[in-house]
Amino acid sequence: MEEEKNNGIPRIGSRFPEVEVHTTHGKIKLPDYYKGKWFILFSHPADFTPVCTTEFVEFARMYPKFKEIGVELIGLSIDQVYSHIKWVEWIKEKAKIEIPFPIIADDLGKLASMLGMLPVNGGTNTVRAVFVVDPEGIIRAILYYPKEVGRNITEIYRLVYALQVSDKEKVALPANWYVDKLEWKSSSLIGNKVIIPPASTIEKMKEIEEKAKKKEIEMLDWWFAYKELKK
């Protein structure tokens, strides 16, 4: 099949590009590694960032449910594999949950550029992109979120499940169609609280730590502080 592209970026209905990637689980060839299975490739701006951490916790929490419907997950950011491994260790220690799926170390940004994951204003942090790929290696859905807003992992599950139902039953699904076996809930790590931007200077870091000591805010680490949203 000739790959259809828009400005070099794959579109819905095109084949996922063939590429070998370095991950926390070793080298993987995509999309062949997941041949016969659905998989979701999702990018995050960077390791050791709070919004990304909440997303990975939810993806890990939901992973058994994705597996139940034959869907695999694989993450990506422009970080080295050493950073991924250390971040995964941090999540296990602080959030008490293991990340069971591989994370691509796209440290040169090759795949991120190929898939249009980089923002138009440049920089090396990927946006929050999601590619849903079917068992034949065909891209069936693409989502892009800005770095400021975390994704709803339940919605991503709903999307891939709806595609499976559509394929099997030869039907289309209406607006707000939902999967009744799932609970829609807020972040299991910080609930509905909002994240304070990570400190960019030592002075700001000390300020955040001081506010946490005074119980004005909550903090998991100097780069991960949060608070109740005033109404």
pLDDT attached to residue 122: 64
* 117, pLDDT greater than 50: yes
With a cut of 90, say whether residue 119 has pLDDT above it. Answer: no
Radius of gyration of the chain (CA): 18
DSSP code string of 51-90: HHHHHHHHHHHHHHHHHHTTEEEEEEESS-HHHHHHHHHH
Q: How many angstroms separate the first and last alpha carbons of the chain? A: 53
- The catalytic residues are 52
Q: Do residues 167 and 175 lie in contact, with contact meaning Cβ atoms separated by under 8 Å?
A: no
Answer whether 118's CB lies under 8 Å from 3's CB: no
pLDDT over 70, % of the chain? 94
Q: Identify the structural domains of the chain with CATH numbers, from first to last.
A: 5-169 (3.40.30.10), 194-227 (3.30.1020.10)
Q: What is the mean pLDDT of residues 193-220?
A: 93
Q: In the block, which residue shows the tokens 């939902």?
A: 178
d(CA 47, CA 49): 6
In the chain, % of residues over pLDDT 90: 77
pLDDT digits (tens, 9 = 90+) for 80-109: 999 999 999 999 999 999 999 999 999 889
- pLDDT number for residue 227: 94
Which helix (DSSP H) or strand (DSSP E) does residue 130 occupy? strand 128-133
pTM, two decimal places: 0.89
Quick: pLDDT tens for 47-83. Answer: 999 999 999 999 999 999 999 999 999 999 999 999 9
